Amino acid sequence: MAIPEDIVAFIGLGVMGYPMAKNLRAGLSSDKTLLICDVNTEALKRFISETEGQGPVEIVHNGFEAAKVAGTVITMLPGYAAVRVVYLDPQTGILAGAVAAATAAEMNGSPPVRKLIMECGTIENDTILSVAKATDELSTSKLSKSLTFVDAPVSGGPMGAQDGTLTFMVGCSPQASDHVFPIVKSYLQHMGNQDGIFLCGDVGAGTAFKIINNYLSAITSLAASEALNIGVKAGLDPKLLTDVINASGGQCWVTSKSNPVPDVQQNVPSSRGYEGGFRIELCAKVLGMGSRLAKMVGARTVLDGPTLQAFGEAMADERYQGKDARVVYKWLNESERN
């Protein structure tokens, strides 16, 4: 059996997690074992088939099994409910597995093995902080401070996950960051741009950075779509208009990297029926998280309300449901002006 330092677990093989875990397996040395866990058994089977020959890959059934044997556990979970179950369930959770590992080590006369656990999804800040608090209390009382939790949400969407070019925003306790952050970076560099892994502050700071980034991205998605729709309705060439915008003050990530007008750019969601990107429902969800964060800290906002209203109207039409968020351009283009 491999030692915990040579075992990494990845839980959550969804649209983002699956390519992230594949890039992680490809980047790890062949003597490292990757444990995978997901509710989708077909995804697990496909993953093993597609990574054959890269190094050991084994299936575990829950966070408890993962944390009991792995030195590092990475999760990419869809929401707060999943995070609470995967981390905090007393029978199947990651924290319970860490305790079981420490108990086994103590019975063998060994100190607890240092373990790192990190969540990479975009989760409500209060959930991240509650997991961090539970981890810290458990680590202090039962694990000789051997367990560290970090939040490391990502930006870059499914395309970035597939290409291994994600940006990571890491929150880690200042008392542990000097030791832990280099370890975190050693894993995340296989899934993202090495220059795009940022230590943002204490636990929860990574999530706040991510929410603020997505807040801006959601609003610019609507703003860019409105501007380009004006141009198209005026009979202008959308590709030339995009080139001018990108060479001028209106340039933004949406116009330059994920243009909402079909066929202006290749290999972007708008040019393939708005499939395969950051779903409008998720975009609206994270924008709402940004609004709640603003209220929590007393920051005045103006643009979130109208943007949420626009997304809500688009999502109410089944033609746009489940599509990349830039489908708001299509919604605008096909709508009549009041």
Q: Are 221 and 326 in contact (CB under 8 A)?
A: yes
Query: Is residue 210 among the annotated active site residues?
Result: yes
Query: Tens place of pLDDT for every residue, the chain, 338 residues?
Result: 578 899 999 999 999 999 999 999 999 999 999 999 999 999 999 999 999 999 999 999 999 999 999 999 999 999 999 999 999 999 999 999 999 999 998 888 888 889 999 999 999 989 999 999 999 999 998 887 899 999 999 998 888 999 999 999 999 999 999 999 999 999 999 999 999 999 999 999 999 999 999 999 999 999 999 999 999 999 999 999 999 999 999 999 999 999 999 999 999 999 999 998 889 999 999 999 999 999 999 999 999 999 999 999 999 999 999 999 999 999 999 997 76
**If we measure between CA atoms, which residue out of 142, 65, 136, 147 comes closest to residue 103?**
142
Q: Are 259 and 269 in contact (CB under 8 A)?
A: no
The catalytic residue among 22, 115, 210, 323 is 210
8 φ/ψ angles, rounded to the nearest 5 degrees? -120, 140
